[in-house]
Amino acid sequence: MAYSEKAIPEVAQRRLPRYYRYISELKSKGVSRISSAALSREMNVTASQIRQDFNYFGGFGQQGYGYNVESLYEEIGHILGLDKKDSMIILGAGNLGRALANHAAFARRGFELRAVFDSDPNKIGKRVNKVEVLDIAKLGEYLSDNKIDIAILAVPKGVVPEIYEVLKENGVKGILNFAYMEIESDPNLPIENVHISDSLMMLSYRIKQKGIE
Amino acid sequence: MAYSEKAIPEVAQRRLPRYYRYISELKSKGVSRISSAALSREMNVTASQIRQDFNYFGGFGQQGYGYNVESLYEEIGHILGLDKKDSMIILGAGNLGRALANHAAFARRGFELRAVFDSDPNKIGKRVNKVEVLDIAKLGEYLSDNKIDIAILAVPKGVVPEIYEVLKENGVKGILNFAYMEIESDPNLPIENVHISDSLMMLSYRIKQKGIE
DNA sequence: TAGATTGTTAATCGATTAACAATC
DNA sequence: TAGATTGTTAATCGATTAACAATC
């Protein structure tokens, strides 16, 4: 986006994957066009917000017609970088690491798992969803030989800082962090923190609120 | 909260688990008091926002002193309902379901796993993290015999609607949904959707943006 | 063309921040 | 007491919604 354009609000950016999800659903149902009004009903947001949001990213619609589902799908996919086939490794072959390695949705969205790393000698050498479990001690070495875009952290929080340094020094471009420790996002190394426990606590909170209000 | 009090903004409510996380960290480090200014530096938010937020929930501080870490921890834990020991079941004994069943952070926060459900005869009867895997066909029956607060959905999206109905009809109080299908939150049955793929897409987007801006 | 629906501006609403009086 | 720091109000900033002209 050219520097002269208006900055896109962070909140609007974070709505993109949700739009993508709904549009990909429409596409697979064979719907070929949709208006902001119709999409607003499905997604439970205002039509106005949908039009504003799509406009931030370039206005993919047509007056009197609406939005073409196929091209919307491609445009948003492109904006999300899903046409790029990022290479990916998973750190930690524990329960969560293995579950993520087997997560079909990742491959479907064009993310390509290359290896899993662990420190446990019983796991090293085994395979998880067709890729090999490598020794985490050799992570730096591996990264200098292999161009990896994304690292998924599924390790105990104690080892996070150390692994983070290795990832950072070896050109990994982004981190998806499941460890129970927030890593601050350096402007040059974006990090998305996924805090499953936070969601559970939020749920607990909302259950409790029901009775009160 | 009395009806006369000002409504607490949704965004502030969603910040609670993050506060809880940082405060619990401070507590375990042995820090006994903290000012909004000091916490603001750690958490990367403004001190003003911290004071506003804590005030929405009752203002746990003391002028000239700051906040007592121990009592802050208890207060927020109480607001989140963590002093309540919710009972919990997991639907789906696949990779993700098993990973969640073994997730130590849940038990640590007072959530008590009671059973796991699956439809696969090879899994039924086995144990996952000390609880039994039960036949999902008997879910309704189980729920009428056992008071369950929270259900975690880790099943393929095709079976979500059907399971949702059973949960709803049998008094489950909240759902944590990992399926790749958004369930709309009924006012009487709060749902937190966790979309791991969305986080990965967002990461991909942010990696892509780096080069552009 | 008439009807539909976007793109976009302006108005509203809500959240964040600044400021400072209250008070420990 | 003097200093520190909250609680809280008011000011600012930003996001959402409404409205409608543009246009397919």
A113: which residues sit within 8 A by CB, 6+ positions away? A88, A89, A90, A101, A106, A107, A129, A131
Q: Minimal CA–CA distance to B195: which of A18, A49, A62, A66?
A: A18
Which bases of strand C sit closer than 7 A to a protein CB? 2-9, 14-19, 21-24
- Which nucleotide has the shortest C1'-to-CA distance from A65? C5
Query: Encoding tokens for residue A18?
Result: 């949700």
Find out whether A73 and A24 touch, Cβ atoms under 8 Å: yes
Phi and psi dihedrals of B58, rounded to 5?
130, 0
Query: Encoding tokens for residue A34?
Result: 């949709």
pLDDT > 60? residue B1: no
Q: Which residues does residue B175 pair with via DSSP β-bridges, in sequence order?
A: B151, B191
pLDDT > 80? residue B148: yes
A83: which residues sit within 8 A by CB, 6+ positions away? A77, A110
The pLDDT, as a whole number, for residue A212 is: 63
Cα–Cα distance for residue pair A68/A71, rounded to 1 Å: 6
Task: Give the Cβ contact number of residue B108 at 10 Å.
Answer: 12
Interatomic separation, CA of residue A24 and C1' of nucleotide C7, rounded (Å): 24
Cα–Cα distance for residue pair B42/B18, rounded to 1 Å: 12
Find out whether B115 and B91 touch, Cβ atoms under 8 Å: no
**What's the helix, strand, coil split of chain B in %, to 5?**
45, 20, 35
B159: which residues sit within 8 A by CB, 6+ positions away? none
Find out whether B157 and B179 touch, Cβ atoms under 8 Å: yes
Split at pLDDT 50, 70, 90, the class of B2 is very low
Residues 26-85 of A with CB under 7 A from strand C: 34-37, 47-48, 51-52, 54-55, 59-67
- Token look-up 């639907």 returns B91
- Which nucleotide has the shortest C1'-to-CA distance from B48? C17
Which H or E element spans position A176? Answer: strand A174-177
**pTM for this model (two decimals):** 0.93
Query: Encoding tokens for residue A130?
Result: 């067709």
Cα–Cα distance for residue pair A38/B78, rounded to 1 Å: 41
First CA to last CA across chain A, in angstroms?
A: 45
Task: Determine the residue type at A51.
Answer: R
* 3-state secondary structure (DSSP) of residue A46: coil
Describe the strand order of the beta sheet including B66-68 as a list of residue ranges. Answer: B33-34, B66-68, B61-62
Nearest-CA distance B181 → chain A (Å)? 9
pLDDT > 90? residue B75: yes
Interatomic separation, CA of residue A85 and C1' of nucleotide D24, rounded (Å): 36
Q: Determine whether the distance from the CB of A9 to the nearest atom of strand D is below 7 Å.
A: yes
- pLDDT, one tens digit for every residue, chain A (213 residues): 333 356 899 999 999 999 999 999 999 999 999 999 999 999 999 999 999 999 999 889 999 999 999 999 999 999 999 998 999 999 999 999 999 999 988 999 999 999 999 999 999 999 999 999 999 999 999 999 999 999 999 999 999 999 999 999 999 999 999 998 888 878 899 999 999 999 999 999 999 988 765
CA distances from A57 to A10, A25, A80, A192 (A): 12, 20, 11, 21
Closest protein CA to C1' of nucleotide D22, residue: A63
